[in-house]
Amino acid sequence: TTVLWDVDSLDWKYRERSRVVEKVCREVEDGDIILMHDIFRTSKEAALDIVDRLLADGWQFVTVDELLVD
């Protein structure tokens, strides 16, 4: 199964933690898959911030398998 993303964080382009966090949190919707890369320190930090922020806002994270079943 090919799985694509709904929100492109553009972390490879911006390489600025706060900008990536704001972009993703502004654009994400229920059921979205967020594309991020793990090659930059700022991307890793942004990913942790995004998870913390979305969890605090009541979001729930699931695996791709769980998402595709629903």
User: Tokens 């382009």 — which residue?
Assistant: 13
d(CA 36, CA 7): 9
What does the pLDDT look like over 25-57, one tens digit per residue? 999 999 999 999 999 999 999 999 999 999 999
Interatomic CA distance for residues 57 and 68, integer angstroms: 23
Claim: this prediction has a pTM higher than 0.85: yes
- Scored b (16 or more CB within 10 A) or e, 35-60 reads ebeeebebbeebbebbeeebeeeeee
pLDDT per residue over 12-27, tens digit each?
Answer: 999 999 999 999 999 9
